[in-house]
Structure 1
Amino acid sequence: MTRAGLVKYLKANLEPWLFGVSAALLGAGLAARVARATGAADGLWIAATVIGLVFSVTSTARALLRRQPSVDVIALLALGGALVVGEPFAGAMIAVMLASGALLEARAGARARRELSLLVARAPQTARLRQLDSIREIPVAQVALGDRLMVGSGEIVPVDGRLLGPAVLDESALTGEPLPVERQSGDDVRSGVVNAGPGFDLVTTATAAESTYAGVVRLVEAAQASSAPFVRTADRFALYFVPLTLALAGGAWLASGDAVRAVAVLVVATPCPLLLAAPIAIMSGLSRAAGVGVVIKGGGALEKLAAGQVMLFDKTGTLTQGRPEVADVLTRSDLEADELLRLAASLDQVSPHVLAGAIVSAAARRRLPLSAPDDVSEVHGYGLQGRVDGHRIRIGKAAWILGDDTPDWARRAQRRAEIDSALAVFVAVDDQAAGAVLLEDPIRPDAPRMLRALREAGISRVVLLTGDRRDVAEMVGRIVGVDEVLSDCDPAQKLAAIGRESVAARTIMVGDGINDAPALAAAGAGVALAARGSTASSEAADVVLTVDRIDAIAAAILIARRSKGIALQAVLTGMGLSLVAMAMAAAGLLVPAVGAVLQEGIDVLAIVIALRAVLPARGQRAPLSGAEVATAATLRAQHEAVLPVVELVCTVADGLSDDNADLAPVRALLHRLEAELLPHERADEQELVPLVARALGGSDSTAGLSRTHAEIEHQINRLHRLVTGTEATDAAGGDVVELRRLLYGLYAILRLHNAQEDEGAITLVSTHAGPS
C-alpha cells in the first residue's frame, strides 16, 4: 500500500483505530501493573492519555469552528488534569471512553454515505433503441427525445415515454399500488416502473436526467441534505457544565492560592457518565429493539424515534399486505369453489405472473391437491389456457371468458370486485364460464392493534400517505383508525406532507417502497419494512423492521423512549454526584488521587444505572412457552382450513330464491358448519382464548372474542332448527326469506369474527412467542 493509500485508509477508519489502540494500551498497562512493572504501566497509560488528548483537542477545535457546544471540552480538561496530577490510569480510562463514544457516532453516521447507493444501482444503465428492423442497446444517458425504445418483459422502463401499444405495468415502485396496471396505447409511462406483461414499444418524452426515477433519486438527496444532524444529549449538558467546571476550578485556585485544588476539581469533573453511561443505555436499547425485529441505526436514530409525536404511514405493504391475495372464489351453482380454485391454481403453477402466484398460494393454504397442466399457452393481453385433468381451462379477463353473455353470478362477481376495489380473474372450464377469483391487497391483521399501541406509546397523530385512489385509501384509514388520509400522492407530495407535519411536531414516517424513500429521509425518523420492502427504502431509513410485523414499531418506540429516559437518569445521577465531588474538591476535602478513585465509583454507578436499559421493562409479560405457541400454530392451520366454509355460506345464500327453494345446498352447508366450523370455534374458545388472555393480561381483553364464539354457535343452532322444520315439506317463500336473512347474518358475523381473530388472537400470540 502506498503512503497516500495508507493515509486515506487511516483517515477513513480513524475512530476504530483510536478505540483499538487506546483500549490496547489500557489493557497492556493493567497487565504491566499486575506484573508489578509500575513504570511500564504508567508509560502505557500516559501514551493512551496523550492519544486521547490529541483527539480531544482536534474534535474540540472542530466544534469551536462549527460554533457547536461539545462535551469534548470537558474530556480535554480531564485528560490534561490527569496528566498534571499524575493519574495516568484515569487518563487512559478517559481516553478509551472518549474513543468508544467517537466510534459509536461514526458507525451511526456511516448511513449517510450509503443513502443513494441502491437507488442508483436500480436505475437502468442501458436502453434498447429500435431502429428500422433492428434493436440496438445504448447507454440510457444517450436516449434522446422522440426515440423509440423496446422494453422487454420484466425490464424496468428506462425513461419517461408514451406507449405505442397496450402494456401491463407494475407501478408499485412509484405509486405503491400492488396490483399490475393495464395501460393503453397513447398512455404516458414513467421510468422506474416494471413491465409485468409482454414486451412493448414507447416513444420517449424525457431524457434520463429529466425522467421520474431520476427525480426520486434527487428528492432523496435533497431530503437527506435538509435533515438536521443528531446532536448528542451530552453536548447539551456542555453548555452548562463546562462553564461551571471552569468557574469552580478557577474559584478554588483563586480562593486558596493552591493549583492542586483546581486540578482536583478537573479530575472529579471527568464526564464519564456523559461519555460512556449514556452510550451504554442507548446501545442497550438498540439491542433490545433488535430482539423484537427492529434495527435502529445508532443512537441518533433512537433519539429521533423516541421524540416522534406524529406518525405517517404509507399504505401498500405497510398497513396492507402489499401483495394480492385471494379474497373470495365465486362460482356458478354446479361447481364448488375449492374445485374451481384447484383447477385454476393447477394451470397457474407454470405462470410467473404475480396474480398467478396469489392463486397458487391460496390453493396451497387450503391444502388442495394440484395437478400438472398440459398444453399451456399464454394469449397475450387476455390470459392463460391449458388442460388440467382432461379439462380445458382458461384464466383471464372477463371479456375473454364470458364473451357477450354475462350470467347473474358473473355480474355479482364484477359488482363485488368494484365495491371492494378488488380484481376479478375469471375462469372457464371446458369453454364454459365457471367462476371468478377475487384478489385484493388485504389490510394487515395487526394494523388496527398496532395503531392503538402507538397511541398508548404517546403518538398523538396518525396520517395515511398513499399514491392509491381516495376511496381505497379512506377505507383502509377507517378500518385501522388514522386521523387523516392523503391519497393520490406522488413522492414529491409525500415529501411536502412531511414538511407540513414537521412544523408542528416531530415526525416518524413508515414505508416500504422506493416511492417512500424521499419521505423516509426527510422525516424526523424514517422506518422501513425490510422483510418485503425495497432495499433502497431501508437504506434511506433510520429504523428498519426485519420482521414482517408492523406492531413491532410500537414496541420499538417504547424501547427507544425508555432507553433515552434511562440514559438521562444515568447522566443526571452521575453528573449530579460529580458536582457534589467537585464542590468537595474545591473546598479542599478531596485531593486529586482520592478524587480520581471517587470519580471512578461515580462512573460505575452511572454505568449500572445505564445497564438497566438492557433489562425488560417492569410489568412486561413473560413470553408464551413453546407448547403454547405450537397450540396456537395448530389452531391457525384449522382457521385457514375452515375459510372455504365461511365463503360457502354467502354462496349458498346467493343461490336461494323464491323460484329456487331447493334446500339441498343448505343442508350440505349445515353439515359442514356442524362438522368443521363449530369444532374449530369450540377449540378456539377452550385453547386459544386463554393464551390471548395471558398475552394481554386479563380475561376482559378476550370478552369480545368469546361473545362472537357464542353468537356463531347460536346462529348455527337457529339454522339447524329452521332447516329441520322444513325437511318434511318444500320450503315456503317465508322460509326462503328467513334462510337468506339468517345465512347473510351468519356470514357477516363470521367475517367479523375472522378479522377479530386475526387481529387480536393469532398475530398477538405470535408476537409473544418465546424460544421453543
Structure 2
Amino acid sequence: MDGAAPAGQEDAMRWWRQQRDQVLFGITTALLLSGLTFMAAGAREAADRLWVTATLLGLAYSTAALVAAARRREASVDVIAWFALVGALAVGEALAGAVIAVMLATGVLLEARAEARARRELSALVARAPRTAVRDTAAGPVEVPVAEVVLGDRLVVRSGEIVPVDGRLLGPAVLDESALTGEPLPVERRAGEDVRSGVVNAGQAMRFTATATAEASTYAGVVRLVEQAQAQSAPFVRIADRFAVVFVPVTLVLAAVAWAVAGDPVRAVAVLVVATPCPLLLAAPIAIISGISRAARGGVVVKGGSALERLAAGRVLLFDKTGTLTAGRPVLSDVVTAPGGQLSGGEVLRLAASLDQSSAHVLAGAIVTAARDRGLPLTSPDQVTERHGHGVEGIVDGRHVRLGKASSIVTGPLPQWMRNARRRAALDGSLTVFAAVDDVPAGVLLLEDQLRPQAPRMVRALRRAGITRVVLVTGDQADAAEAVGRIVGVDAVHAGCDPGDKLSLVRAEQDRAPTIMVGDGINDAPALAAAGVGVALAARGATASAEAADVVLTVDRIDALADAILIARRCRRIAQWAVTAGMGMSAAAMVVAAAGHLTPVAGAVLQEGIDVAAIAIAMTALLPGRSHTVAMPSADIATARRLYAEHREVRPLVEQVRTVADALNQPPYDLRPVRELLDQLEVRLLAHERAEEAELLPIMARLLGGTEATSGLSRTHAEIEHQIGRLRRAVAEPVPLAEAEDVTDLRRLLYGLYAILQLHNAQEEEGAFSLVPDAPAGRPSHLVRSRT
C-alpha cells in the first residue's frame, strides 16, 4: 500500500496539469481572437490591452516553468520563450506577444495530448486490475475482495471475467491473454497448467486453485511496475536541456547582432520568437514515451525514458541461465520403474499425478501436467498429508502412495535400479521424485528444466538488433552451462557464479561497452542494478529482480526483449530526427528573421507550424516498426498447434526408446518390449513425422523463405524412418530371447535412434514450433504475430 499514494498523487497531478493546460490555451486563444475582433472594429487600444493580458499570462507560465527547472537544477531553453515575451512587451508588439503566448499554450497542450495518447497502453493495464474474486465454497460461489484470497482457495472465474490471482487450473480453459502477451487469439490451457492473474476467461466458467495471493500475483506486479514506469518517466527525458547551454547564448547573440546591425529591437524579438525551441521541448519526450508505450504493448515495461535510451545504447548482453535461457520450471522427461514390478511407468505417473493434484509444490504441477498430456485418467486423492522438504502421501484408488526424496521412500541402501536412475539424473541435470505404492518402491520420476526452444533464435535476433557480445553468467555447473552456451550461441560462459561474481562480471563488461543484464532471481538483483540496463523476467510474479531492474518482461518469452531493443533504438532515432528537423527549420527561420524578412507575428505563426511538424514526426514512434517477428496466417497457426499437440503426445515414446535399451543390460534378453515399442513407433511416431513433412514444413518454407530452411528437418524425417526400418529387421526373427551379440547391435540401434529423435525434436521446437504464437507449456511461444 505504501506505493499507492505516490502513484495516486502522480495521477492527480497529471489530471490537474491537463486541465491547467486547457485553461491556459482557452484563455490565451480567446484573448487573441477578441483582440483581433476589437482591432477590426477600430478599437486598437482595447485590442492591445487584451493582447498584453495574453502576453502576461504566457509570461507568468513561462516564469513558473523556469523556476521549476531552477529548483531541479536543470538548464532550460524555456528562457528563450521568456525573453521573446518580455521583448514583445518592451517594443510594444502586443499582438506578437499574444501570438507567442498562444503558441506556448498550444505546445504545452499538444505535449499533454501526445503524452496521453502515448501512455494509453500503460494506463489501460492499470485500469483493468481485478478487484474481487469468486471463492468456490461448499455453500456455493461467494464473492470476496481479491485481497482476501489465500493460497489453496478454489476459485471460479465466469466467462468474460478477469482471473484475479495466479493459480493452477482444475480443468481445461480457453483464455484471452492479450493483456499480458499482446497476442489477440485465445489460447487453450489444460488442467494442471498455471494460469496468471490479469488474463480473461474466453470460454466457459473455469475453476482453479490459488497458488499466490493477490499482492504476489502476476498482474499486481505488472500494475506496480507500470505505476513505477509512469512515475519515473513523469519528468521526461528532455534532449533540449543538453543543448541549452550552447543554444541559449547563440540565440541571444544572434538577436543582439540583428538589433545592433539594423538598429531595430523588433528584429531581435522576431529572432527570439522563431528560436522558441518547442521541437526540443516536445518532440523528444513524445518520441520517448511513445517507445515506452509500444514496448508495454508487447509485454515489456520500461521504467522511464532514461532506461529506454540506455536500452537503445546497449551492446553487450549478459544472461543468467535458469528462467531466462531455460524455461525456469520443470518438465517430466521420463519415468523409471522397478524391474519386474507390477506397475508400468504410465500407472506410476497416474498415481503420482492423482496425489499431486492436492499439492502446491512446483514439481507437483509438472507431474500433473505430464499426466494430463498423456491422457491418463486422474482421480481425487484421500487422506493427503504433505510435509515440507520431505514429500506428500495419501490414498489413491485404495492404494497408499508416497512421493518424495529417496530417503523418504527407502530406508537403508538404495536398490540398484534406483541408483541407476539417480546417476542418470545427475548426468542429464534432472531432478528426481521417488514414488512408493503400498510401501514398495515403484518408480522414479525424472524432471528437467528444459532449454527454451526459442532461445537460440532469440540470441540471433538480438545480434541482428545490434548486440555485439552475448555472455552467459550462471551459478550452475560448468558442464551444464557450457552445453547451454553452445546451443544458444553465446560468446563467453561463466559458470559457478555467486551474486558477487555476477556483479563483478557486469562491471567488467560495462567498462568495455554499455551492458544489458537479464535475470529472474533474487540473486540476480545486484547485477541487474549495476548493469547499464537491468532486465528482469516477471511473468510469474514480481520479484526482487523486478524491483532492481530498469526493464521488466511481463510475458514469459525472452524474444520480447529483441523487439524492445528495436523499439528503443527506433524511438531514439525518431526523437533525433524530430529534433534535428525542427531545430533546423527554426535555425533557418532565425536567419530570415535576423535579416528583417519576418515580423514577430509572422515568426510566431511560422514557429507554430514548425512545432506541429516536429511533433508529427515524433508521433510516428507509435507506428509499428521493424521487428524480428513475421506474420503467420490463422489457418497455419491452427495447423501448427495441432501438430505440436501430436508432438507432445509422442514425446513419451522417445523416452521409452532409451528405457527399453537400458533394460537390455543383462540376460535374459527379452525382446518383447522392443517389438511392442516398434509397433508404437510405426503406428504413432512415423504417422506424426509424415504429417509434419506434409503440413508443417510447407508452412515453415513460406515463413522462412524457401525449402532450404526446411531441408535439415526433412532429412532427419527420412533418417528416422530409415532407422526404425533397420530396427524392425533386427528383431524380425520370432525368438522370445536373444543372444548377447545380437543385443549389442540392438542396443546400438536403439540408442542411435534415441539420439536422432532427441536432436530432431530440438530442431523442430527451435526451427518450427517456436514460430507458433502461444504454443503450450514446455514450449515455444510468440515468435510471430498472427494475421487473418
Match of 1:91 in 2: 101
Match of 2:760 in 1: 753
Are the aligned partners of 1:343 and 1:393 in contact in 2 as well (CA < 8 Å)?
Answer: yes
Distance in 2, Cα, partners of 1:536 & 1:38: 62
Match of 2:457 in 1: 449
**1:457 Cα offset (Å):** 1.3
Residues 425-477 of structure 1 show CA distances to partners (whole Å, capped at 9, x for unaligned) of 11123333222111232222222222221122111222333344444444433
Distance in 1, Cα, partners of 2:34 & 2:760: 72
Question: Structure 2 length as normaliser, TM-score?
Answer: 0.74
Residues 82-110 of structure 1 show CA distances to partners (whole Å, capped at 9, x for unaligned) of 665633244333245357769999999xx
Are the aligned partners of 2:28 and 2:102 in contact in 1 as well (CA < 8 Å)?
Answer: no
Match of 2:280 in 1: 274
Distance in 1, Cα, partners of 2:602 & 2:430: 75
**1:525 Cα offset (Å):** 1.5
Which stretch of the first structure deviates more once superposed, 738-747 or 471-480? 471-480
Partner AA of 1:760 in structure 2: G
Match of residue 54, structure 1, among 55, 60, 63: 63
Match of residue 651, structure 1, among 640, 654, 659: 659
**1:14 Cα offset (Å):** 5.5
Are the aligned partners of 2:563 and 2:627 in contact in 1 as well (CA < 8 Å)?
Answer: no
**1:16 Cα offset (Å):** 5.3
**1:414 Cα offset (Å):** 0.9
**1:340 Cα offset (Å):** 1.5
**1:734 Cα offset (Å):** 4.2
Match of 1:302 in 2: 308
**1:649 Cα offset (Å):** 0.8
Match of 2:714 in 1: 706
Match of 1:259 in 2: 265
Match of 1:513 in 2: 521
Partner AA of 1:329 in structure 2: V
Are the aligned partners of 1:265 and 1:585 in contact in 2 as well (CA < 8 Å)?
Answer: yes
- 3-state SS of 1:628 partner: helix
Going from structure 1 to structure 2, the CA distance change for 1:247 and 1:636 (only over 3 Å counts) comes to same
Match of 1:327 in 2: 333
Distance in 1, Cα, partners of 2:291 & 2:491: 29
Partner AA of 1:303 in structure 2: E
Match of residue 284, structure 1, among 284, 290, 299: 290
**1:19 Cα offset (Å):** 4.2
Which stretch of the first structure deviates more once superposed, 401-410 or 9-18? 9-18
Going from structure 1 to structure 2, the CA distance change for 1:11 and 1:714 (only over 3 Å counts) comes to closer
Are the aligned partners of 1:636 and 1:762 in contact in 2 as well (CA < 8 Å)?
Answer: yes
Going from structure 1 to structure 2, the CA distance change for 1:324 and 1:247 (only over 3 Å counts) comes to same
Say if 2:763 is the partner of 1:763: no
Match of 1:692 in 2: 700
- 3-state SS of 1:566 partner: helix
Distance in 2, Cα, partners of 1:37 & 1:532: 61
- 3-state SS of 1:526 partner: strand
The percentage of counterpart residues that share the same residue type is 59
**1:285 Cα offset (Å):** 1.9
**1:249 Cα offset (Å):** 1.3
**1:569 Cα offset (Å):** 1.1
**1:531 Cα offset (Å):** 0.9
Match of 1:496 in 2: 504
Say if 2:79 is the partner of 1:73: yes
**1:201-220 to 2 correspondences below 5 Å:** none
Going from structure 1 to structure 2, the CA distance change for 1:579 and 1:360 (only over 3 Å counts) comes to same
Going from structure 1 to structure 2, the CA distance change for 1:359 and 1:44 (only over 3 Å counts) comes to farther
Residues 175-205 of structure 1 show CA distances to partners (whole Å, capped at 9, x for unaligned) of xxxxxxxxxxxxxxxxxxxxx9xxxxxxxxx
Going from structure 1 to structure 2, the CA distance change for 1:368 and 1:730 (only over 3 Å counts) comes to closer
Distance in 1, Cα, partners of 2:11 & 2:406: 61
Going from structure 1 to structure 2, the CA distance change for 1:318 and 1:380 (only over 3 Å counts) comes to closer
Distance in 2, Cα, partners of 1:19 & 1:51: 17
- 3-state SS of 1:649 partner: helix
Distance in 1, Cα, partners of 2:107 & 2:24: 13
**1:192-231 to 2 correspondences below 5 Å:** none
**1:417 Cα offset (Å):** 1.3
Partner AA of 1:664 in structure 2: R
Going from structure 1 to structure 2, the CA distance change for 1:612 and 1:381 (only over 3 Å counts) comes to closer
**1:28-177 to 2 correspondences below 5 Å:** 30=29, 38=37, 46=55, 49-62=58-71, 66=73, 69-78=75-84, 80=86, 86-87=95-96, 88-95=98-105, 97-98=107-108
Distance in 1, Cα, partners of 2:28 & 2:638: 54
Distance in 2, Cα, partners of 1:12 & 1:494: 38
Going from structure 1 to structure 2, the CA distance change for 1:282 and 1:647 (only over 3 Å counts) comes to same
Match of 1:115 in 2: none
Going from structure 1 to structure 2, the CA distance change for 1:75 and 1:506 (only over 3 Å counts) comes to farther
**1:378 Cα offset (Å):** 4.5
Say if 2:547 is the partner of 1:531: no
Going from structure 1 to structure 2, the CA distance change for 1:266 and 1:414 (only over 3 Å counts) comes to same
Say if 2:363 is the partner of 1:347: no
Q: Which runs of 5+ in 1 are unaligned?
A: 1-8, 109-152, 155-195, 197-228
- 3-state SS of 2:731 partner: helix
Distance in 2, Cα, partners of 1:408 & 1:503: 53
Question: Structure 1 length as normaliser, TM-score?
Answer: 0.76
Distance in 1, Cα, partners of 2:567 & 2:737: 65
Say if 2:454 is the partner of 1:438: no
Which stretch of the first structure deviates more once superposed, 615-624 or 249-258? 615-624
Are the aligned partners of 2:55 and 2:94 in contact in 1 as well (CA < 8 Å)?
Answer: no
Distance in 1, Cα, partners of 2:744 & 2:649: 29
Distance in 2, Cα, partners of 1:496 & 1:294: 27
Residues 274-306 of structure 1 show CA distances to partners (whole Å, capped at 9, x for unaligned) of 122222322332232222211222322210110
Distance in 2, Cα, partners of 1:82 & 1:260: 8
Are the aligned partners of 1:374 and 1:387 in contact in 2 as well (CA < 8 Å)?
Answer: yes
Which stretch of the first structure deviates more once superposed, 630-639 or 715-724? 715-724
Distance in 2, Cα, partners of 1:237 & 1:13: 31
Are the aligned partners of 1:309 and 1:458 in contact in 2 as well (CA < 8 Å)?
Answer: yes
Paired residue total: 644
C-alpha RMSD of matched pairs (Å) = 3.5
Which stretch of the first structure deviates more once superposed, 664-673 or 326-335? 326-335
Which stretch of the first structure deviates more once superposed, 451-460 or 345-354? 345-354
Residues 244-288 of structure 1 show CA distances to partners (whole Å, capped at 9, x for unaligned) of 222221111111111111111111112122122222322332232
Partner AA of 1:317 in structure 2: G
Distance in 2, Cα, partners of 1:44 & 1:700: 73
Distance in 1, Cα, partners of 2:745 & 2:33: 91
Going from structure 1 to structure 2, the CA distance change for 1:331 and 1:277 (only over 3 Å counts) comes to same
Which stretch of the first structure deviates more once superposed, 580-589 or 591-600? 591-600
**1:482 Cα offset (Å):** 2.8
Distance in 1, Cα, partners of 2:373 & 2:347: 14
Are the aligned partners of 1:22 and 1:51 in contact in 2 as well (CA < 8 Å)?
Answer: no
Match of 2:726 in 1: 718
Say if 2:34 is the partner of 1:26: no
Which stretch of the first structure deviates more once superposed, 452-461 or 397-406? 397-406
**1:654 Cα offset (Å):** 1.1
Are the aligned partners of 1:513 and 1:534 in contact in 2 as well (CA < 8 Å)?
Answer: no
